[in-house]
Amino acid sequence: MPLAVKNLVAYSKAMKAVDPTVKIGAVLTTPGGWPDKERAPGDTADWNNTVLSIAGSSIDFVIVHWYPGGTTTADLLNTPSRIAGTTSELRSLIAKYAGSRAASVEIAVTETDGVGSPALTSQAAALFAPDTYMTWLEQGATHVDWWNLHNGTDQAPTTVNGQTDYQDGGILSAGTCAGGKCQPPRDTTFPTYWGIRSLTALAKPGDTIVKSSSGNSSVTVHAVRNSTGGLNVMLTNKSPQNAAQVSLSYAGFTPAAGAVTTVSYAKGGTALTTAKRGTAVAQTLPPYSITTLQMKPASGTAIADKPTPAATPTAPTPVVSSSGTIGTRAQGGIGAPVGQATPSSTSGDLASTGASNAVVTYSAFGGLLVIVAGGVLVLRGRRRRGLHGK
């Protein structure tokens, strides 16, 4: 294996001799997942330490795959909470071997989906998708790539939380059959498509990721300050049975009074639904749903409330709510512009984007959300691969 890594160093040198701006990356094993910490015969260290000890000064980004899996759908939906720890371990490895260049070495998550869990196309996977995208971006990843556009499967469909799951890593139906049962016609959208597309309601080019936190383990939250001074907040209710009564509070942002525009995707939906519903401080989230609030600032507050990036964000104080009320805080404060990642550090379970000089932009492509980072599309269509992620 060291020979292969030495070849990577030579390749990087040759490529940069032609174009000094080209970026070269190396594949790492995901910390905590197989085959992390395993040593190949003849190697004196595991894969990550071997690769980085040789190529750490020659690469511009590292590649990891995020297939956290889970025995249950609840397990899958809790996996984004592990991303901060995974990122921290990757950053420690990079710092160990990349020296003064460590802060500029990017993290690219070039594959992720729900494989290894019960849900690949059903609603739990749809909820997992945007939470995973946003959590990685908040932790400083410059790419998040979903596996896959079309995939297909040799596994028969299953029933997950009362919904057919086609056990397919694609977000669009391949129109294939397995176990005597067939998928919908080719290009039919699976719930995962709508989960990813929900991100288009949250962020646009020029927007800023800001800190947010939830006081309830069944509700996740992500927030983005838009270029006109408004605030978009994505709330995901991970309970398959129960609606969530949510109260929200804000620091550094005063929302306009009255009903707010919501863009939502609920179990069984075939499109995103836009409506005027609830207020900026109180929302009812349907079971197993994604709801994005699109809020305007109160009159006269847009300039005063405009967020100012800072090097070291501090964690917000948890919301204190009345008994039985879920507390959720969406902070209109420190973050990194969507379209220009800003170096910053993390604080506790919350984080603005990590140290990186890469460009991260959001755009629409064929009606589906695509995130472009350094010129690379994150949602890729590739041929089916059997037993992917196993």
97-123 tens-digit pLDDT = 999 999 999 999 999 999 999 999 999
What percent of the chain is modeled with pLDDT above 70? 76
CATH 3.20.20.80 in the chain is located at 60-197
Task: Calculate the alpha carbon distances from 388 to 34, 176, 235, 296 in Å.
Answer: 14, 17, 30, 43
For 60-197, CATH gives 3.20.20.80
Which range among 86-90, 201-205, 285-289, 375-379 shows the weakest confidence by mean pLDDT?
Answer: 375-379
Considering the chain, what is the average pLDDT of its residues?
82
For residue 190, give the nearest of 220, 152, 219 by alpha carbon: 152
Mean pLDDT on 320-325: 29
Which range among 40-44, 291-295, 296-300 shows the weakest confidence by mean pLDDT?
Answer: 40-44
Token pair 């003849």: residue: 42
pLDDT digits (tens, 9 = 90+) for 133-177: 999 999 999 999 999 999 999 999 999 999 999 999 999 999 999
- Global confidence as pTM: 0.81
What type of residue is 27? V
Query: How does residue 254 score in pLDDT terms, banded at 50, 70 and 90?
Result: very high
For 208-337, CATH gives 2.60.40.1180
Task: Give the Cα separation of 2 and 6 in Å (integer).
Answer: 6
Strand ranges for 238-359 from DSSP E: 244-251, 260-265, 273-277, 282-285, 289-295, 326-337, 346-347, 350-351
Task: Give the Cα separation of 99 and 330 in Å (integer).
Answer: 36
Which range among 20-24, 277-281, 344-348 shows the weakest confidence by mean pLDDT?
Answer: 344-348
CATH 2.60.40.1180 in the chain is located at 208-337
Contacts of 74 (CB under 8 A, 6+ apart): 238
For residue 372, give the nearest of 342, 338, 343, 344 by alpha carbon: 338
**pLDDT score for 298:** 94
Which range among 223-237, 252-266, 280-294, 317-331 shows the weakest confidence by mean pLDDT?
Answer: 317-331
**pLDDT score for 323:** 29
pLDDT digits (tens, 9 = 90+) for 66-81: 999 999 999 999 999 9
**pLDDT score for 153:** 96
pLDDT digits (tens, 9 = 90+) for 330-380: 333 334 445 443 333 222 222 222 223 322 333 333 333 333 333 222 333
Could you give the dihedral angle defined by the CA atoms of residues 96, 99, 102 and 108, in that order, rounded to the nearest 10 degrees? -60
**326 pLDDT exceeds 90?**
no
